[in-house]
Structure 1
Amino acid sequence: MVRFSELRETRAEKEARAKAAQDAAGFETGLTTRCEQAERELTAVTSRRDSINARLTNIRRILAQFIDDGSLERAPPQPQFESVRRGYDPAQVDAYVRNLRHGHDEPRPEFTLVRRGYDRQQVDTYVTTLKQLTGRAGSTPA
């Protein structure tokens, strides 16, 4: 049989239980506040992403018109590549760049290395830039 005196809480136990309840409520309030802040930040990031995507779509549309109307001729002119001791065959590079500028979508060839050829890094950089402008950045330099 349980005695009545054993059922009664001591004053310290009551205070401890009240303090625990208060701490739990404070933790819940803090957690709720942090969740709300995270949701606001996520909304801001999502809004920013949507804005950037809208601008990218517009840029792609303008570039598509730029390419479709044959105005790729206004793309950055082919630079005078430096001639180096061992570089890409100038005839191959010139033909490939000319085709790219006229809108032909062809895979990037393995340029032959020759004596007194075009600087490889300059050619690779220019071809990459030109492909990005035309939306055909899938081909990578050799």
Structure 2
Amino acid sequence: MVEAVTTGRWLGLRPDLARLLACGDPEREHGELSRLDAMARETGLACASLAGRLRAETAWQMCFSMFLTSLSSQEQIRVCGELAVLVAQYLNGARPAVHVGDAGVAAGSDVNIGADRGSMAGGVVQVEGGVHIAFPSATVTGRR
């Protein structure tokens, strides 16, 4: 998990991991996402040093250990197998690092959002790297 968080693969992995930890229960999935995001934030901060990275790795191991001990032995075997496949897919690049929801768009290049005739357009962007925002050259005034 530390590798996923520190290489940018986390955003794609997190919803699948939350679904796995919630055992397919959509109500529990939201709570798992929140918990995983908190751990990912702590991991990102901790990885500034080798000692911090080792502590983060231990924290993730404890998290999964506690989760697995709450399952029956059959469920443990199943979940460990699913987790191993999931992590391997993301870290080896077999699954995309980008995850979008039902109304989302993933782009590997330019995205242009525009409006005309007094309308307004917007978008929500999550970016690794940089963003350039250009403002229109014409001045828009409000009308009543």
Q: TM-score normalized by structure 2?
A: 0.22
Which structure has the larger Rg over C-alpha atoms? 1
Q: TM-score normalized by structure 1?
A: 0.22
Q: Greater RCO between the two (CA within 8 Å, min separation 6)?
A: 2
Q: Is the strand fraction higher in 1 or 2?
A: 1
